[in-house]
Amino acid sequence: MSKFKVGIVGATGFTGHELIKILAGHGGVELVYATSTSSAGKKVSELYPDLSYLDLSFEDYTVLEAKKRKLDCVFLAVPHGESMQFAFDLLEAGIKVVDLSADFRFSDYQTYEKTYKPHSQRDLCSQAVYGLPEFFRKDIVNAKLIGNPGCYVTASLLALLPLKEVVTDIIIDAKSGVSGAGRKAEEAYMYVNVASNFKAYGIAKHRHQPEIETYVGQKLEFTPHLLPVSRGILATVYFKSQKTYEELNSLLQTTYKNEPFVTVLTKSDPELRMITGTNNAYLKLYKASKEGQFIIVSVIDNLVKGASGQAVQNMNLILGLEETAGLILSPVYP
């Protein structure tokens, strides 16, 4: 049986590395094209020795080369603002696209432009499908362009979307491992500044807040924090509701009953060690100390369910593969 051919544009970042690892163990696709501006000509194993079993080199990107390789799908793991032109050219060449940047996460380009920068491919925004499979699966399977959600947003939306019609006064207190900032060398992310430290940032102005608000359908407060760990997202979501705990928990349980990667816990508490290195998400609903107030804790791996794993989940759907293919991963523990 022939395999689908896939490529990665921008394959040297943390999400690119995670994509390569997942795709290398995927039985239904073959990674035949991995591009990098900074590392073209180098073997993948030179940059990532853990991938020494791969006979693959980084290359310069051209859409002509992507067409020549007869790619079925391309992952765009490049910064916001750069993906939009890549996506247009690839779609024109008949290649499906999963974009890991924010460029196609908003169907309304005006919201994108208020948050990021002017959009050069406005018409494509309304054609893109938001890549949160648990809620947009029916649209994803017929899509050619996927806007893959980010890590903070995924953790928050998984907690809130089943309940969005019955909750108010939402406050999201979210923490991320340092890998969420990418591989860039900046002073703020140096070991001496992160180890034994903990801080909030982007308070009341973080660029992911409009994305969460768009899909929840109401204004909320979102405060991200930088954890002194390598990877993982833990979001603590506070809200009010006139529903009972039992009603809210039933909504969560019903929503995720048949979802392969989302588990609603009833006994143990969500922890980062449950999800590190996996495409899984764990949620738990709690009663707050005040009547009518509730808390949900949500945990995911920022590089997998929050980025590359979810991207592969979307790829599986648009290529007609088993949704879980390549994504049955065990957590890294201890």
In the 8-state DSSP scheme, what is residue 57? B
CB atoms within 10 A of CB 67: 15
| Cross-strand partners of 171 | 221, 238
Helices 14-24 and 309-318: crossing angle, nearest 10°?
A: 50
The β-bridge relationship of strands 233-240 and 168-176 is: antiparallel
Tokens coding 79:
């910064």
Structure tokens belonging to residue 254: 């019903």
Instruction: Give the CA angle between residues 310, 314, 317 to the nearest 5°.
Output: 140
HSE-up of 2 (CA within 13 Å, CB side)? Answer: 7
Q: At 295, list the tokens.
A: 């808390």
**Helix, strand, coil shares, percent, the chain, to 5:** 35, 20, 45
6, 23, 73, 151: the catalytic one is 151
Q: Catalytic site residue 151?
A: yes
Owner of token pair 């310069």: 60
Distance separating alpha carbons of residues 141 and 75, to the nearest angstrom: 16
Long-range contacts of the stretch 323-326 (C-beta < 8 A, 24+): 323/133, 323/260, 324/260, 324/261, 325/26, 325/27, 325/28, 326/22, 326/23, 326/25, 326/26, 326/27, 326/28, 326/29
Cα separations in angstroms, 106 against 140, 158, 227, 320: 15, 17, 28, 24
Which of 225, 207, 87 is closest to 153 using CA atoms? 207
Residues with Cβ within 8 Å of 177's Cβ and at least 6 positions away in sequence, in order, are 227, 229, 230, 231, 232, 233, 272, 302
| Active site positions, annotated | 151
